[in-house]
Structure formats: C-alpha cells, structure tokens
Amino acid sequence: MVDDQVGCPTYAKDLARATALLVRSGARGTVHFSNEGGTTWYGLARFVLSRCHPGGKGLLSPVATKDLPYPAARPPYSVLSKDKYRRVTGDTPRPWEEAVADYLSILAGPGFPKRDPRKLNKGRWGACAFC
C-alpha cells in the first residue's frame, strides 16, 4: 500500500450531509469537503485492518509511489482546505477515523467490533468483506 501520498478519506454519507448544508446556506463557487485530517492509503488500510482483523499485523507493507507503475504522477499531499466550508456552513467535518469506523460498523452489523471478522457476512460488499 502506498505510504507517501497523503489525502483524506470522505464518507459519502458525510458528503451528502455537507452538500445539503451548502445548498441550504446558499453557497456559491468552489467549496472543498472531506472528512477531517489526513492519511496515506497505507494508513487507511492499516486503520481498517486494525478494526476488521486486530491480529492482522504484518499483512500490509508500505511502499513508495516511485516503486509502483502508475501511468501518471500523483501529488504527495492532496488534503484540501475546508476553511470555506466551515465559514459558509458553521460546521466542522468529523475526523476520517470516526467516519470510517461508522462505515465499518454498518458493514459488520450489531456487536461490531466484537465479532470475529472471519464470521462477517461475506456476501456484503465493502471494506470488511476481504477481512
């Protein structure tokens, strides 16, 4: 997993809420939104794995972008400012970790994260389906 490109995961549920707030506030122009904070793809995968498969240390390996055959250059830092969003709506996005945990709890169902990840419903699509 790439560990030298920093971005910010965005939960679609939070994006939908943010869009509604922006529409109600009469926002104009470009407004950036994502969940708060930043991480790499490796950091995100490690976070998901720690919740879906707590004993899974060693299943992921960080790699540098230069070591992968990407057809186009990728920016090392792509976390965009949410200052305009905050100013226009008066709202602060929740941290990406909280949003991802919320999403994973929906995938796992009642009792998450206490359930054995090997017993998760494999028919569900999503981040924990591969755990």
Domain extents for the chain? 6-130
Alpha helices in 26-131 (DSSP H): 41-52, 83-89, 96-108
Mean pLDDT of 59-87: 94
Quick: pLDDT tens for 3-59.
999 999 999 999 999 999 999 999 999 999 999 999 999 999 999 999 888 877 788
Q: What is the pTM of this model?
A: 0.80
Residue 112: the pLDDT is 56
For the cut 90, the answer to whether the pLDDT of residue 123 exceeds it is no
Quick: pLDDT tens for 83-113.
999 999 999 999 999 999 999 988 887 655 5
Do 123 and 34 touch, CB atoms closer than 8 A?
A: no
**Taking the domain 6-130, which CATH number applies?**
3.40.50.720
Do 38 and 78 touch, CB atoms closer than 8 A?
A: no
